[in-house]
Structure 1
Amino acid sequence: MADELSDGTLRGMVSVVDSEWTLREATPVDRGFCRVYRLVVGTATSTRECYLKAVPEGRDAGVAADARVSAVVGEHTAAPVPGILGAVDDHPDLPAPYFLVEAMPGDEVPYERVGWVSDDVLRTTARQLGESLGELHRIDAVDSFGYVFYDESRELAGGRPSGTVDELRVRDGVDSWPDYLRARVDRELGRHAESGFSDLTPRLESWCEDRIERLDQRDGGFSPVLGRNDHGLHNVLVDADTGDLTALLDWAYTLAVTPAYDLQFAAYLFGGGFLSAIPEVADRQEMVRDALLAGYRSTAPDLADDAATYRPLYELLAMVRIMNDFEQLRPRLPEGTGDAVAEGLREDVESLLERNSR
């Protein structure tokens, strides 16, 4: 693991959160860009397991926002979110921001393994995720579109976030959904132009602009909600035998978006369509979408019609995300399948454009 933290540094980080805790064990965990450690700490009466999430060197990575959003979701929903034990936004000697979070039960499954999860297990996970997303979207926390940040005037020096919605902010929020989408499309297609799929970028640019112009012609109908956004098996814990959702992890990239946008990203990434060029893998996006919406209707019936609205633009952007990160995905795929998966992605995008060209 690159950029590891020393035992002395970890002891110092734990003591800022609780001066009576002592570090017993520290094991690095490979989770994305951040430095994450499984810790065993001694308390006054026992030991406990927890996790430490720290900013990577030279990057913010949304760690401070992650702690606040997690606390809000835990306070306002029944979603399985681990409790924040303490957070530190700034420190002269330690790698801040960072926070400690309680350990949760469940199994970690890499997101590219979704294609090999059984139908029954995947359906259960999707339905329960839909329930949690319905509750998430009903939290009245945002009034514009954009990246969900936090109130920087409320600095934490080891304490717990309050879990109140007034701790959240939308950084440089945009009032218009079409305007926000234009900016997001520009960013994503800017990355796409540097990917192995760059020959498709000009066509995607013109198609996306046409679709956004159609959104411009609508009279309202787009309201911001807290969007999970960073969907995939890699950001949840599940009971691998039943599919029961035991934890929703990693809220650093929460966005204020529309319900339909958030649901479409979840349906695409959990549906595993990006792997369907592998012979034994099926595109189960329709099955996953139905299960997501069934769960969603049980907790947010008032938002379900908006959430159920299919827009090909949102599905395309989910595909673009996979394309943009494909070189990170390739080595995790079964040996010899990388080229086939890349070609399958290309064909799926071209098919979507053809089906929705008018």
Structure 2
Amino acid sequence: MSDDAIGFAAVAGMVAACRDDWTLDSFDRVEQGTDFVARVACSTPNGEQRAVLKATIAEWMTPEIARAEPRLFERIGRETAIPVPEVYGFVDRHAEYPTPFYLVEECPGENLEGRPETLAPAARERVLREAGEHLAALHELGEQPRFGQVGVSDGELAILPTDHDADSERELFRAGVDETCDALADGTAFPDYADEPQRFADLAEPLREALHARADALTEPEPPRYCHWDYRYGNLLLDPATGETTAVLDWANLSVREPAHNLAKVEAHLLDPGGNDSEARARELRALFRDSYESARDGWAFTPAKRDRMETYLLKCRTEAMACLPLWLEDATPREKAKREREHREYVREYL
């Protein structure tokens, strides 16, 4: 069922499947994202209740992985101080509606995707400090038995095999490099969105060579832990006045990797290479993020080896940003895309 076909009757049915004592009164579709998400108003035994309904309709998201999100909300909410929505109910399989789907609390706050510059300096700093604390809390859930992706097996959270035949951070890194560089060479990771498919094709092989060489030189990674792979402004709800993070969303892509790789990925998201920060300001925010993380993990420190691995991971993150440019800048002008291209090329030049 496409999102266009999901009308009032379907939304009402999904709400009732999650909570049989709730009745849908109205709903508003949230346009952002690749899944069906709606804010719903319902009549309940305790009066009117507002909530959020999400149904997975993106073809690239497997049900085994998507089913993990409400279960992760429950575990993260129970075992950490990371703010996540309360879960009202979820359904893994249904004969009529797209699954999985779930019903959760509607949290306060605003999505500031593409607008972090609207935050006051102190509020922006709070976002970075809390990001460090949240990742530390996630990683402190403990070492995991193997690398992979978090999903659901036999109704329980489990670590699923990856798409790659790899059982170490180094092997997964290499596989990710090849996948990304292949995308750059073939017309980016999102050719349907690309107005210039060959924008970075000339850099595909030089970047592949540089990243594989850096993989050879990687020091031994830490054991794998849960990693939120998409911790960015688009998946945060914030108090725009204070910068307080009121909810961390999108847990359907939780990976099991080494913490330094997760830290690099989040730095790449929150310190947007296309933002308006000066180099000095970016260094200041990076230091806030890293100091916050380090302070929240007892006995953990940013050693030279970890910093070196993060630099390699950050180069890979930049390569991924190049491959994703058509989607991430879908609504940008040609001039804005060209500006971002120049920024990416300038960044990778020193590594090639």
Considering the TM-score relative to the shorter chain, is it more than 0.5?
A: yes
Partners of 1:115 and 1:94 in 2: CA distance: 40
Question: What's 1:55 paired with?
Answer: 56
Cα pair 1:69 1:168 within 8 Å, conserved: no
Question: What's 2:77 paired with?
Answer: 74
Cα pair 1:37 1:51 within 8 Å, conserved: yes
Cα pair 1:4 1:35 within 8 Å, conserved: no
Go from structure 1 to structure 2 and tell me whether the alpha carbon gap of 1:202 and 1:58 turns closer, same or farther (over 3 Å shift).
Answer: closer
RMSD: 2.3
Question: What's 1:270 paired with?
Answer: 270
1:167 aligned to 2:157? yes
- 1:199, CA displacement in angstroms? 0.9
Alignment of 1:200-211 (within 5 A): 200-211=203-214
1:13 aligned to 2:14? yes
Go from structure 1 to structure 2 and tell me whether the alpha carbon gap of 1:266 and 1:99 turns closer, same or farther (over 3 Å shift).
Answer: same
Question: What's 2:258 paired with?
Answer: 258
Instruction: Name the aligned partner's letter for residue 105 of structure 1.
Output: P
Question: What's 2:292 paired with?
Answer: 295
Cα pair 2:129 2:288 within 8 Å, conserved: yes
- 1:230, CA displacement in angstroms? 0.6
**Unaligned segments of structure 1, at least 5 residues:** 155-165
Partners of 2:254 and 2:129 in 1: CA distance: 20
Partners of 1:187 and 1:250 in 2: CA distance: 23
Partners of 1:241 and 1:20 in 2: CA distance: 37
1:231 aligned to 2:228? no
Go from structure 1 to structure 2 and tell me whether the alpha carbon gap of 1:304 and 1:69 turns closer, same or farther (over 3 Å shift).
Answer: farther
Partners of 1:305 and 1:281 in 2: CA distance: 24
- 1:289, CA displacement in angstroms? 2.0
Partners of 1:64 and 1:333 in 2: CA distance: 33
1:42 aligned to 2:27? no
Cα pair 1:54 1:63 within 8 Å, conserved: no
- 1:176, CA displacement in angstroms? 1.8
SS in 1 for 2:42: strand
1:343 aligned to 2:342? yes
1:187 aligned to 2:185? no
SS in 2 for 1:260: helix
Question: What's 1:123 paired with?
Answer: 125
- 1:116, CA displacement in angstroms? 4.9
Q: Which moved more, 1:115-124 or 1:25-34?
A: 115-124
Instruction: Name the aligned partner's letter for residue 8 of structure 1.
Output: A
1:139 aligned to 2:135? no
Partners of 2:243 and 2:332 in 1: CA distance: 22
- 1:331, CA displacement in angstroms? 4.0
- 1:30, CA displacement in angstroms? 2.1
- 1:167, CA displacement in angstroms? 2.3
1:98 aligned to 2:101? yes
Go from structure 1 to structure 2 and tell me whether the alpha carbon gap of 1:91 and 1:186 turns closer, same or farther (over 3 Å shift).
Answer: same
Partners of 2:326 and 2:292 in 1: CA distance: 33
Q: Deviations over 1:218-276 (max 9, x none)?
A: 4x44210111111210000111111111110011111111111111111122112x215
SS in 1 for 2:98: coil
Partners of 1:140 and 1:76 in 2: CA distance: 11
- 1:19, CA displacement in angstroms? 1.1
Q: Deviations over 1:169-219 (max 9, x none)?
A: 23348432111211122222222222221110000111111111112xx4x
Partners of 1:65 and 1:3 in 2: CA distance: 25
- 1:336, CA displacement in angstroms? 3.7
Partners of 1:174 and 1:72 in 2: CA distance: 27
Cα pair 2:28 2:38 within 8 Å, conserved: yes
Instruction: Name the aligned partner's letter for residue 309 of structure 1.
Output: R
Q: Deviations over 1:281-308 (max 9, x none)?
A: 5354422321112221332133343696
SS in 2 for 1:42: strand
- 1:85, CA displacement in angstroms? 1.4
Instruction: Name the aligned partner's letter for residue 337 of structure 1.
Output: E
